[in-house]
Structure 1
Amino acid sequence: MELVTKLGSADVAHLVELLDEKQSIIATTVASAQSTSTSTVDSVDLELAWELARRVEASDVSNETVSRIERSFDYLAVAYSTSPPAALLPQLRTYLAYVNSLMDKRSTIAEKQRLIVAGGWLSLLAATCHIDLQHQHSATEYPRTAASLARHAEHAEIRAWCYETQAWRVLTDGDYPRAIELSRAAQHHAPRGSSAAIQAAAQEGRAHARLGDTRQTTQAISTVHQLVTPLPARDVEHHYHYDPHKVIAYTATTLAWAGDPAAESHAREIIERLRPATPTDPARWPRRIASAHLDLAMALTTTGRFDEACHTATQAIESGRIVPSNIWRVTEIIRRIDALDIPEADTLRDAYRGLVSLTR
């Protein structure tokens, strides 16, 4: 206050002018700094957003590469019905190794998801081939790999198929109660109306048939028929796509295992439906036809027609389509005719010995 009183009015006016000028300069400087800061931050944010988008889209795994793997799996799943499992395994190993190598490559989130799913399907089919060949260790480990991939991908159908595949494995090993447990787990996880749900219900019915539970067997057959009714007919058999032809074959097998003579008509129907138009035409479902011959042979032993049963079982063996995991089915027929002294029985025994020798 003392300084102000010593200044004249002109001095005070000049001082006010200087202060106003300084405030204007400060305000301009602050505004400029704020503008520069906002512009810089906005630019950095844009660069971060663009970089994130670029990294998400950056990929050493193209969409076409994943699509080829998916198509290859479908090809192998179709080939399964006509090819020996030992012939499919080298191809499955090749594709699984390729999928494994791609897991470490840069890929989009969508591509990685599809790779995991493809790896799950390929592992599942490999497990099925190992079960057919009775490679016990691989038949146990591959479903675990497929199940792990299914969990990572949150893929309910593959997870259900893993349970179903294990149900089939223990069923062929004779552990029928465990087969029922696994079949029910598969049905629990399977999407409603899916092929996995149908096949799991079918496996449960087979296990009940082996245990002699007629009521549960009949109920399972009815359930499978209801689930299959809406499905379209298919020109080719894909192992993971249920089709109307399969339900007839399934019914024949289940009734034959239950000791029901009605199995005969179902087995004959599927054999007739799938029979090639001419002897020179290739069979489209050779493994299914061979299985139907075994079902028919079993049904014929139930009604005492042993000569035809022997002839029919021999046809199944000579088709070359009986895999090691199904030899026990032939063994059961052999036991039923073992005491018979008929030419057809001798022929069947010779064919059976040849079949068993191939698996040693």
Structure 2
Amino acid sequence: MSDDQPTWAKRIRAMREARGWSQTEAAEQMRRHSPRALPETDHLARRWKAWELGENKPGREYAPIIAATLNTVTQSLFPPDEKPNTGLEILNATGMDTLEIVSRLQASDVNDATLEAVRITVDKLCSEYARQPPFELIGEGRQWLRRLVEMQEQRLNFRQRRDTLELAGWLALLVGCLEYDLGDRRAAEATRQAALSLGREVGSPGILGWAHEMSAWFALTAGDYRGVVAAGKAGESAAENHSVSVQLIAQQAKAYARMGKRAEMESTLERGRVALDKMEYPSNIDNHFVVDPSKYDFYVMDCYRHVGEDRMARELSDEVIRVSSGFNNQDRWPMRIAEAQVTLGVVAAREGDLDEAVSYGRKAIGNGRKSLPSLAMVSQDLADVLRERYPREREATEYLEQLRAIQRPAS
């Protein structure tokens, strides 16, 4: 395969091969996902071969059919070009830096420009969740949350008060996620409840949906799979059309995978794929509380790993690592990379390669930015395979000891 081929072409081929289809079979599969009659199979097969060669990028007509055939989201397979983040958003948009924003808040000089600057600051903090160490970001998040609470004592009109409470809700969600990443479930649950209350007060479907998503996440990492489904359904009802509804669906699919309910898992994943495919591409995919199209592959990877679909899990892991790495000279989503590395470790262990399995497992544990409960839960899949297949191997035993060290704080 040529290195100068576009990424989408390479991925179409990799996803087809992971399913064990010939090009003709893949073309024929397209009929199941097309709302209209398609040309003869020979014609479709020739077009499929051309797509895999990187010729004639699929347009609006065929792109969603190909994505559905390969069980992914259209804008994940064919993402739009992205402009790099310069880090000057606040100054460029408002003419104020952080010091001036704080000075205005302290002086009770709260106007629309100041509120817009605070809004951009909150978005920036939520966008740093994936990369910044949680013990550093949590302090900044709590500090800004305190400032927003103090603003309620000032003279604000109705719209300003509602806006500040909504921003406080998003910050509460961020702080709660960071508390959970650090292993403090009690504090995280209290903060989640505060966010839920703020979401109800301002009538924000997004905040309400994410508060329920956090509940589903907590239940998933605790092994309460029925609780995941209950929280997911409640969250979907509250979230309306916000993108969090897709993540709520994904958490339910993960729970079904762990409950051994394969049919429910697959139908739930497809429901999430269809929902996400209908949404516009986000303006800021780095914000933790935005579900970007590439995250769908991350959800499916988890489910496939758990149910033993190793070839497709490997292909998805490679894709998750590719899109999560090397953006602006740093990894964009380190925690997704870690879970993809665990998945590759599980596949290697099942295929009999202990050295590679342990190597991937150690890379995941050594990742600088981690969520302790999530990593402990995902790594348990690798631990189970190692205990079953390599019970007396020193390398496996040593890795399991390392894993126990990160599981203790998450329990």
TM range (shorter): 0.7 to 0.9
Evaluate the alpha carbon distance shift between residue 214 and residue 322 of structure 1 in structure 2; reply closer, same or farther with a 3 A threshold: same
Q: Deviations over 1:40-94 (max 9, x none)?
A: xxxxxxxxxxxxxxxxxxx853223322221111111110011122221101110
SS at match of 2:263: helix
1:198 matched to 2:246 = yes
| Separation in structure 1 between the aligned mates of residue 409 and residue 208 of structure 2, nearest angstrom | 34
SS at match of 2:294: helix
| Separation in structure 1 between the aligned mates of residue 163 and residue 170 of structure 2, nearest angstrom | 11
Aligned to 2:314: 264
Native 8 Å contact 1:317 1:352 kept in 2: yes
Q: Deviations over 1:141-161 (max 9, x none)?
A: 111111111111111221111
Shift in Å at residue 186 of structure 1?
Answer: 0.7
The residue type paired with residue 96 of structure 1 is L
Aligned to 1:247: 296
| Separation in structure 1 between the aligned mates of residue 248 and residue 259 of structure 2, nearest angstrom | 17
Evaluate the alpha carbon distance shift between residue 241 and residue 127 of structure 1 in structure 2; reply closer, same or farther with a 3 A threshold: same
94, 101, 104: which one pairs with 2:150?
101
By relative contact order (CA 8 Å, sep 6+), the higher-ranking structure is: 2
| Separation in structure 2 between the aligned mates of residue 356 and residue 211 of structure 1, nearest angstrom | 22
Shift in Å at residue 335 of structure 1?
Answer: 3.5
Native 8 Å contact 2:180 2:371 kept in 1: no
Shift in Å at residue 344 of structure 1?
Answer: 4.5
Aligned to 2:170: 121
Structure-to-structure mapping, 1:36-55, within 5 angstroms: none
Moved more, 167-176 or 326-335: 326-335
The residue type paired with residue 211 of structure 2 is C
Structure-to-structure mapping, 1:72-87, within 5 angstroms: 72-87=121-136
1:317 matched to 2:375 = no
The residue type paired with residue 403 of structure 2 is Y
Moved more, 241-250 or 174-183: 241-250
Evaluate the alpha carbon distance shift between residue 139 and residue 272 of structure 1 in structure 2; reply closer, same or farther with a 3 A threshold: same
The residue type paired with residue 108 of structure 1 is N
Q: Which of the pair has more CA radius of gyration?
A: 1
SS at match of 1:82: coil
Native 8 Å contact 1:60 1:107 kept in 2: no
Aligned to 1:334: 383
Shift in Å at residue 189 of structure 1?
Answer: 1.2
Instruction: List alignment gaps of at least 5 residues for structure 1.
Output: 1-58
Native 8 Å contact 1:77 1:125 kept in 2: yes
Instruction: List alignment gaps of at least 5 residues for structure 2.
Output: 1-107
Structure-to-structure mapping, 1:206-221, within 5 angstroms: 206-221=254-269
| Separation in structure 2 between the aligned mates of residue 136 and residue 353 of structure 1, nearest angstrom | 18
Moved more, 202-211 or 331-340: 331-340
Shift in Å at residue 108 of structure 1?
Answer: 1.0
Aligned to 2:77: none
Aligned to 1:352: 403
Aligned to 1:26: none
Evaluate the alpha carbon distance shift between residue 311 and residue 343 of structure 1 in structure 2; reply closer, same or farther with a 3 A threshold: farther
Shift in Å at residue 205 of structure 1?
Answer: 0.6
